[in-house]
Chains A and B, each alone.
Chain A
Amino acid sequence: ETGVTQSPTHLIKTRGQQVTLRCSSQSGHNTVSWYQQALGQGPQFIFQYYREEENGRGNFPPRFSGLQFPNYSSELNVNALELDDSALYLCASSRDRTLYEQYFGPGTRLTVT
């Protein structure tokens, strides 16, 4: 069984640029949730995708957007990057929107300068 993978591992961008982060869900999982973890903080829920549709969103502006593909992998896109977007971005996969058994990837460390 393949675990959750994320790419890239690290990324450095300049303020105002756009970024795309990728997540491959665990085999058999059809739900992906994205979280932002700022330094010294707990993860904060960005949004969840279930069967290619957004299924809930946290308190993040519209410049944070996502996609889920037919193979249930997912992308997180952030436009007009701000310095405060610097964080570890985690994705987690699960079955059928459940949050009780989420499996997290290792994360992508984004630095905005």
Chain B
Amino acid sequence: AQSVTQLDSQVPVFEEAPVELRCNYSSSVSVYLFWYVQYPNQGLQLLLKYLSGSTLVKGINGFEAEFNKSQTSFHLRKPSVHISDTAEYFCAVISTGANNLFFGTGTRLTVIP
């Protein structure tokens, strides 16, 4: 069975400060990992994904994430946040051979002016 844990339900951070949103997964097989962002009253937008290769993945809007197989983690980072980054962020996983995404419960990032 696979699952995704997002350890922080809410993360407040001041504008221009760095941020890390944590994600841990469990799976008995190889996985593909994703981060999605959801702005208020909108659908999900893919920020970045890890399928294979380099464990450091760069995405849109200055975000990056690092796949750590030994820690079963895929934490999302941004060195300097903007007000416009205020949104809900979801980590998701697909186990190889599966045909559906499993999402975490989300982390609400609030950027404070």
Q: Which residues of A come within 8 Å of B, CB atoms?
A: 4, 33, 40-45, 48, 55-56, 58, 90, 92, 97, 99-102, 104-107
Contacts and interface: CB of A to CB of B under 8 A. Distances in A.
B32 A4 contact: no
28 contacts: A4-B43, A33-B101, A40-B106, A41-B105, A41-B106, A43-B44, A45-B100, A45-B101, A45-B102, A48-B99, A55-B99, A56-B99, A58-B100, A90-B43, A92-B44, A99-B32, A100-B32, A100-B49, A101-B46, A102-B46, A102-B101, A104-B43, A104-B45, A105-B43, A106-B42, A106-B43, A107-B42, A107-B43
Interface in B70-110: 90, 92, 94, 99-106
Q: Determine the main DSSP class of A at the interface with B.
A: loop
Contacts of B92: 42
A58 B99 CA distance: 10
A48 B106 contact: no
Q: Which 3 A-B pairs have the closest CB atoms?
A: A42-B103, A104-B43, A45-B100
A44 B45 CA distance: 16
Given A99-B94, A104-B43, A106-B43, A43 B103 contact: yes
Determine which residue in A40, A99, A102 has the highest number of CB atoms from chain B within 10 A of its CB, and name it: A99
